Amino acid sequence: DQRRSQRPMTGLGSGFIISDDGIIVTNNHVIEGADEITVILSDETEYTAQLLGRDPKADLAVLKINPENYKLTSVEWGDSEDMRVGDWSIAIGNPLGLGGTVTAGIISAISRDIGSGPYVKFLQTDASINRGNSGGPLFNLEGKVIGINTAIVSQTGGSIGLGFAIPSNSAKKIVQQLKDFGKTKRGWLGVQIQPVSKDFAESLGLENEKGAFVSNVNPKGPSKTAGIEAGDVILNFNDIEIVKMTDLPRVVAESDVGSIAKVQVWRKNKKIIIEVELGE
């Protein structure tokens, strides 16, 4: 209805300060499409934030505020690889507009694929996460950020104990790139892949269904130059085992553009190592 007056829409989310000069991390979906971004600190001080960069594929955004004479307190990144199922985790955020809400739970699973893009495997937690918690930090018991609360699975829209956080080790690198370049630079191999089915494994002489089957090679991609062929099965990338096909895009994307990657492939009943200079 065109006659209705347009009211500004307001969205709520969470974020955390990672440096004393006012760099803030949040989710891309928290600020996506926003005309104006306001950051409200725990003591109700308000700042207008500038968007430094965002990455929709990993659902991360980096903001900057100018604290002037205000002394900001920043948080430190922790090592998400150290987390194990059963470890305690603490979420802080702004659920339903109730800023500064702290909830606790355990890490329920690590490396969870919830089908939201190829580049992130999530930490799962049963700490209560609701609408407005997105972009907030998930801490370990030492008060270091090991995840960024991003999604929940719920039929009701409220927390039923299935919360998902982007691991800090994945986020750290992306956040640094958004800060430095305003965009993410991901490694590129230039292959189309599919899962290794039971039939594929048997016909190729593989002992299991691990790896990524190369169905096509981009004629202008780095793989073509390096000599990877359609029909190869990629088993290992820079000494990281490719257990499922979906592991490959993530480990390639996390590698530096222009770096030389060691790719182990299965071809004609033997393993060979091919060195590929990754594109962007």
Residues with a known catalytic role:
29, 59, 134
Q: Are strands 163-167 and 191-195 parallel, antiparallel or unpaired?
A: unpaired
> Which H/E stretch holds residue 234?
strand 233-237
Whole-angstrom Cα Rg for the chain? 21
- Residue 96 amino acid letter: L
CB atoms within 10 A of CB 12: 18
CB 236 within 8 A of CB 263: yes
Residues across the chain: 280
Q: Are strands 233-237 and 240-241 parallel, antiparallel or unpaired?
A: antiparallel
- Say whether 240 sits in a helix, a strand or coil: strand
First to last CA, the chain: 45
Q: What span, in angstroms and rounded, lies between the C-alpha atoms of 185 and 187?
A: 7
- Residue 29 amino acid letter: H
